[in-house]
Amino acid sequence: MMQTSCRCPLAMLLAMLLVGGGCAGYQLGSQSLYPDHIQTVHVPVFESASFRRNMGERLTEAVCKEIERNTPYKVVGRTGADSVLSGRITNEMKRVVVEARSGEAREIQTSLYVEASWTDCRGDEIHRGQAIALPPEIAEVSGSGNLIPEVGQSIATAQQKAITRVAEQIVSLMERPW
């Protein structure tokens, strides 16, 4: 006389529904990190207050590559773009970090400061939440790169490190707040 009980399968089904239901508010994939009403971004050349040539162009190129590589968005020209990501290099500095006894620089740090703004095609700010403590229409980011002349590094390599770090920060601001 074998008796089968329905309690065990029913309890397991109920447990699976409770566990699975707890994840109902989460989204999977990189698509969930970014506003879904935007598909394309126009990135005009960043303005530059730096005396160094082509800093705005180099930063613009780095930002475009970062958008294409790490977001679901496509970088396009002004016509047909859903949004515009614009910015301005406000300051670029170079300072000696380590000095040799002879007074020559052994390690130098370059820093780049940028203001960036992301708006939709109507000119309205794309909401990013309260992730930054600045006016919602402007975000200020900075990045730095060090160079050591003794091992063959140049100011150009340090600037490129700073540009890459700033581009990563700008594109990360395009994510939805957690």
The model carries a pTM of 0.70
pLDDT digits (tens, 9 = 90+) for 97-127: 777 788 777 777 888 888 888 888 776 777 4
Of the pLDDT bands very low, low, confident and very high (cuts 50, 70, 90), residue 95 is confident
Task: Specify the residue for token string 């475009």.
Answer: 64
Domain spans of the chain, in order of start: 34-172
Of the pLDDT bands very low, low, confident and very high (cuts 50, 70, 90), residue 129 is very low
Under CATH, to which class is 34-172 assigned?
Answer: alpha beta
pLDDT digits (tens, 9 = 90+) for 33-82: 788 888 999 999 999 887 778 889 999 999 999 999 999 999 999 888 99
136: phi then psi, degrees, rounded to nearest 5: -65, -20
pLDDT digits (tens, 9 = 90+) for 137-164: 445 676 767 656 766 777 778 888 888 9
CA–CA separation, 49 vs 28, rounded Å? 41
